[in-house]
Structure 1
């Protein structure tokens, strides 16, 4: 026993397998509600059609561009695909700055700047006379009306450029291309590629059984391939054949139904209360990198204030400042007992966090961080299982590959193994493989353009 209060906190973060499977069943119900026209409005998981209807099959060939705008950097990626028995892919990319003036000026200025960067990129590579399909990752709140028609709902991340909200992003990009390139042929094949969709498509190039795309980073989301006949949000859905990638936006699970209420701790409630989107994306706040470190900080401060952790804590300690990242959790979990004794926990925590930390304190910290990580991975696992079972309903496919990306999955020392092991323990009958995906917002966007070119029989050089 570590301490009655510490043990109580750890117990509040622990979920039994039975409880996890009940949550997975509830998520399964929400997936169905999101697909149905009559229940979509009140469904927590919105199941947004991406209009991406296929993944790479190995026959894609040629050169494709990806444009990636998600903040103060604008990235252009040239992707060269060589088909054959062992398809090969090469990437060449360049990053361009987006100034505050462009972020807050006019939409025309912003899109003209991006196209000027594209012009320079192609001139440098002597590629001005080629037909180059483009996939565009535009990481802002949007509404997809088709593979080449996406409407900006509102700006975020400090962008306020005028004349863009409510407009078709693909059309704005095409207009800017036409102003600059005039007689040169560039074709927008996929206006907006959600990074989760890009993660799925990028992984599918290497693993053809990939049918799910998972992001666990600053946020978390899942997409998967659904039968179009099941997507009631599509016109004449019952007559449609084949599949379409659905962007679930599963971070909102539990927002309205109260499905997560009984597992919320006082710390989860504080996280939500102090977030910019109170009452929204509850599931995401229990999993993602944006909140895991802050949850640890709130627990540590509470235990310290009650005398259950640290001999002393400086009043100016970082622990009293919000915004802890998941890197802190990773740091604690990386410190095994030998490492902590060799480096001196007192020195590390005194210098960086303004606390006096004993080896006993370190043991408590590790247990807290382990418990938060186990809970996050377990909740993610129940979502994977729910989506996998949804896919099996229409595919009958037993071998399912999940393409995964995100800083938590990549960098957290135990999250990957916890997610995989928990998924297999809870659903041993499902044959689910997890594969690390490569650059969904870049390579994935270009591959979406490549797949669309194949479908539409467009030949590139």
Structure 2
């Protein structure tokens, strides 16, 4: 037990060393000669503008980044009384579709879209689309990006190396031949959820220059000077562009994280669909947090250090522990009756000592994840401060279930950023819908920049 807790502890010195290594990878990713070999690819997104309050009309937003596909109809009202209203629906993505073919995946997405539009009887209007596609992609333009690799359990075949916008348009064409509907769809932008978070928070706070996701996965996007982005062929002097850092891949090719990875981290990676990829992500995100705890519990059980009473059909020996379980245990600290109820669902009978040990483990796992994120935030904030000046006000928009729902994660993150960041002026802005609202706002900004107007029908939005 003591050895495990020690292995999960990260000192400020260690975190600052990690921040230094991450900065080197950022610089490698921004340089044309070293980008391909960099762990953090620092991908240009071609998103250069944030909302200015003149955006008006109705826009569709797609959000795909986990086991759910969400569609939103977003209505923007411009002017002095600017306002945004949203009507959304969530559709489940089955394991069969996640691991099938790319055509099956996109046909399913379009089937969901047809259901969404038909149910709302939307006809005779242009519907610009902002598509949040939260997987590593190489952007070749605002509406053109190439999938680099799958994460989060997806393995749909025939998609890596393909243009996501093209695949979506082809699926729409296939569907429209079978069942035409009276509307015009136009894909305006394809982005990562972190980019959507930057733009979404930018609608409320003009100092927003970073967007971070800590949920099923984790990633960071931020505004970078175009002159520093060597991958860009055409640059606008003194202007910025949003960069998708893909920081989840930090540590993939180097030994930057080797000293702090535990045997449980290594086991998780080796038994994941994307072995050897997204090492940083697997030490932080909600997709792996519960499994990390489960592996540690199983090891302690085998050593006779925890849970002497175990039901014959206990589920603890099979994957299935979630990040929500970790959150619940931390939340129920000092309430052993509640903890006993939580573990009883997994066939475990907990003594007071077992409860105390479980709380210590969950707190240690949570703290490590928050501190690793803090090191990343400080690294990016220091880069922005170099670009904008040391006194620059920096707002970071944050979304994701771990950040929003874990009882102590946000507080731990904020505190450690202050410890590591010195005089950096960083403010955190929580958003509950960066990926959805942000996608629609990016589409709206693009419509404004391209002078595309959308027809707003007379209908009441929920």
Task: State the distance in 2 between where 1:294 and 1:450 align.
Answer: 40
Question: 1:404·1:434 contact (CA, 8 Å) conserved in 2?
Answer: yes
Task: State the distance in 2 between where 1:382 and 1:48 align.
Answer: 20
Cα deviation for residue 234 of structure 1 reads 1.1
Matched, 1:340 2:336: yes
- Paired residue for 1:378? 371
- Paired residue for 1:149? 144
User: SS at 2:345's partner residue?
Assistant: helix
What is the correspondence of 1:68-217 to structure 2 with a 5 Å cutoff?
Answer: 68-69=63-64, 74-95=69-90, 107=103, 118=113, 121-122=116-117, 125=120, 127-139=122-134, 142-152=137-147, 160=156, 166-174=161-169, 185-190=184-189, 192-217=190-215
- Paired residue for 1:3? none
What is the correspondence of 1:31-70 to structure 2 with a 5 Å cutoff?
Answer: 31-69=26-64
Task: State the distance in 2 between where 1:125 and 1:454 align.
Answer: 25
Cα distance change on mapping 1:456 and 1:438 into 2, 3 Å: farther
- Paired residue for 1:219? 217
Q: Structure 1 residues 311-320 or 389-398, which shifts more?
A: 311-320
Bigger Rg, which one: 1
Matched, 1:392 2:385: yes
- Paired residue for 2:449? 455
Cα deviation for residue 432 of structure 1 reads 0.9
Question: 2:127·2:183 contact (CA, 8 Å) conserved in 1?
Answer: no
Matched, 1:262 2:259: yes
Instruction: Choose the corresponding residue for 1:251, options 248, 257, 271.
Output: 248
Cα distance change on mapping 1:175 and 1:254 into 2, 3 Å: closer
Question: 2:60·2:127 contact (CA, 8 Å) conserved in 1?
Answer: yes
Cα distance change on mapping 1:226 and 1:86 into 2, 3 Å: farther
Q: Structure 1 residues 132-141 or 59-68, which shifts more?
A: 132-141
- Paired residue for 1:273? 270
Question: 2:225·2:238 contact (CA, 8 Å) conserved in 1?
Answer: yes
Cα distance change on mapping 1:95 and 1:310 into 2, 3 Å: closer
Matched, 1:415 2:409: yes
Matched, 1:10 2:9: no
Question: 1:144·1:151 contact (CA, 8 Å) conserved in 2?
Answer: yes
Question: 2:98·2:156 contact (CA, 8 Å) conserved in 1?
Answer: no
RMSD: 3.0
- Paired residue for 2:460? none
Q: Structure 1 residues 46-55 or 267-276, which shifts more?
A: 267-276
Task: State the distance in 2 between where 1:66 and 1:263 align.
Answer: 39
User: SS at 1:451's partner residue?
Assistant: helix
Query: Which structure 1 residue ranges, 5 or more long, are not aligned?
Result: 1-5
Query: Which structure 2 residue ranges, 5 or more long, are not aligned?
Result: 456-462
- Paired residue for 2:458? none
Q: Deviations over 1:7-30 (max 9, x none)?
A: 232122111112211211111111
Q: Deviations over 1:323-363 (max 9, x none)?
A: 421122112112232x214x583x654x3233332112211
Cα deviation for residue 293 of structure 1 reads 1.5
Task: State the distance in 1 between where 2:413 and 2:143 align.
Answer: 35
Task: State the distance in 1 between where 2:2 and 2:29 align.
Answer: 39
Task: State the distance in 2 between where 1:217 and 1:110 align.
Answer: 22
Cα deviation for residue 385 of structure 1 reads 0.4
Instruction: Choose the corresponding residue for 1:405, options 399, 402, 406.
Output: 399
- Paired residue for 1:426? 420
Question: 1:202·1:438 contact (CA, 8 Å) conserved in 2?
Answer: no
User: Please, what TM-score do these two structures have when normalized by structure 2?
Assistant: 0.87
Cα deviation for residue 378 of structure 1 reads 0.4
Task: State the distance in 2 between where 1:306 and 1:121 align.
Answer: 53
Task: State the distance in 2 between where 1:352 and 1:169 align.
Answer: 41
Question: 1:224·1:246 contact (CA, 8 Å) conserved in 2?
Answer: yes
Instruction: Choose the corresponding residue for 2:233, options 216, 235, 252.
Output: 235
User: SS at 2:219's partner residue?
Assistant: strand
User: SS at 2:453's partner residue?
Assistant: coil
Instruction: Choose the corresponding residue for 1:361, options 354, 365, 369.
Output: 354
Question: 2:75·2:84 contact (CA, 8 Å) conserved in 1?
Answer: yes
User: Please, what TM-score do these two structures have when normalized by structure 1?
Assistant: 0.87
Question: 2:400·2:432 contact (CA, 8 Å) conserved in 1?
Answer: no
Task: State the distance in 1 between where 2:220 and 2:22 align.
Answer: 12
Question: 2:60·2:130 contact (CA, 8 Å) conserved in 1?
Answer: yes
